[in-house]
Amino acid sequence: MRRWALGALGAGVLAWPWVAPRYFVFLASLILVNAVVAIGLNLLSGYTNQLSFGHAGFLAIGAYAAALLTIHAPAIPVVVTLLLGGAITAVVGLAFGVPCLRLGGLYLSMATLAFGFVVAEVILNLDALTRGADGLRVPAGRIAGWALSTDTARYYLAAAVTAVLVAGAVNLTRTRVGRAFLAIRESEVAAQASGVSLAAYRTAAFGVSAFYTGVAGGLFAFVVGYLSPDAFDVFLSVDFVVMIILGGLGSVPGSIMGAAVVTVLHDWLAAFQNFRPLIFGAILIACMLFMPGGMARALRPLGRR
């Protein structure tokens, strides 16, 4: 049953560009990008209980890293660019995670919030490199001499990368690191008593989360094709938090659903102009009132049947 559902989902994702209009292909790519960020954030928040309000900052680092690599070294294949972007972001995440180890709860959220602001300002000020507020146009990525210049090509790139990262996140719990994350999620004290080093795994969670978000940033750069610092403001970080709580903390399918719902809502509500935040806010409140714990928990009874 489950295998059939996954197969159908995979076929749907593959067939999408052939059945949907061009704009919806772009929208689907955006959902994939946001899903990767949500999964990355959920690895951090859902497992090690560190809520970050600065993931727009990590996304920006990944996006600018990928864009600058493509501009200055066009020969590098797209996949390598994405990996490098992710790796750079992961290094920043680790460097940020270590001093934040002492901070818990709201204090950590505050530090991540600050991180987001600082990243935006650094981008604005390194204008020799990033063109500051003017924004940066991202050239099409190349893979084996073939430029990814259509929405469909970029969509398939995003879909392939997302599939790999989703598989990684789902199977993480089969590894030693993943089991340590689970133990920390269930009880930090019990995990420590069982010999799980809280400091090491909290830092690792920051690194992994930043890597996912950095790769998503690279995808974002290619999908959108234009970067400017004000696209990565604190409200984007809040949106990511909304995605994972709406979807369900600590759940990979929940992250994907949350990302899809928030992205589609933002797009769909654009038609309502001034009423948009009003409706979006009302939907958020209704969701949390009637589905406490997020969509993943609300849908769990269906999965058991």
Partner 1 sequence: MSTATLVHVVVSGLATGSIYALMALALVIIYNATRTLNFAQGDMLMVSTFAGWAAHRAWELPLIVTMLVAVAAAALLALVIERVIIRRSIAATHWDVLIITVGLSLMLRSAAGLVWTHEDQAFPSFFGDRPITLGPVKLAPVSLGIIGGSLALMLCLYGLFTHTRVGRAMRAVAQNQRGARLMGISVERVYSLSWVLAAAVGAIAGVLVAPVTFLSTKMGIVVINGFTAAVIGGFGSMPGAVAGGMLLGVIENLAPLYLPSGIRYSVPFLILVAILLVRPAGLFGRIEQRKV
Cβ closest to partner 1, residue 208 vs residue 243: 243
- Minimum Å gap between C-beta 7 and partner 1 is 33
Stretch that binds partner 1, among 36-44, 140-148, 199-207, 276-284 (CB under 8 A): 276-284
Helix, strand or coil, per DSSP, at residue 118: helix
Give the separation between CA 257 and CA 300, rounded to whole angstroms. 13
Q: Where are the beta strands (DSSP E) in the chain?
A: 136-137, 142-143, 146-147, 226-227
Cβ closest to partner 1, residue 57 vs residue 85: 57
Q: What are phi and psi of 290, to 5 degrees?
A: -100, -15
Cβ closest to partner 1, residue 103 vs residue 143: 103
- Applying CB under 8 A, the site for partner 1 has a residue count of 42
- Minimum Å gap between C-beta 203 and partner 1 is 15
Radius of gyration of the CA atoms of the chain, in A: 19
Stretch that binds partner 1, among 64-72, 82-90, 112-120, 206-214 (CB under 8 A): 112-120
Indicate whether 117 belongs to the interface with partner 1 (CB under 8 A): yes
Site for partner 1 in 243-262 (CB under 8 A): 245-246, 249
Give the separation between CA 140 and CA 224, rounded to whole angstroms. 10
Give the separation between CA 227 and CA 33, rounded to whole angstroms. 15
Do the beta carbons of residue 43 and residue 195 sit within 8 Å?
no
User: Partners of 136 in the beta sheet?
Assistant: 227
Indicate whether 51 belongs to the interface with partner 1 (CB under 8 A): yes
Q: With the CA atoms of 155, 160, 166 and 172 taken in that order, what torsion angle do they form, in degrees rounded to the nearest 10?
A: -150
**The binder of partner 1 chosen from 5, 15, 71, 110 (CB under 8 A):** 110
> Which residue's entry shows tokens 């600058």?
68
**Window 150-189: contact mask with partner 1 (x via CB under 8 A):** ---------------------------------------x
Indicate whether 303 belongs to the interface with partner 1 (CB under 8 A): no
Indicate whether 296 belongs to the interface with partner 1 (CB under 8 A): no
Indicate whether 268 belongs to the interface with partner 1 (CB under 8 A): no
In 3-state terms the chain splits into helix, strand, coil percentages (rounded to 5) of 80, 5, 15
Indicate whether 1 belongs to the interface with partner 1 (CB under 8 A): no
Cβ closest to partner 1, residue 141 vs residue 250: 250
Give the separation between CA 236 and CA 54, rounded to whole angstroms. 9
Which one, of 150, 208, 142, 216, lies nearest residue 175 by Cα? 208
**Binding stretches for partner 1 (CB under 8 A):** 51, 99, 102-104, 106-107, 110-111, 113-114, 117-118, 121-122, 124-125, 189, 234, 238, 241-242, 245-246, 249, 274-278, 280-285, 287-289, 292-294
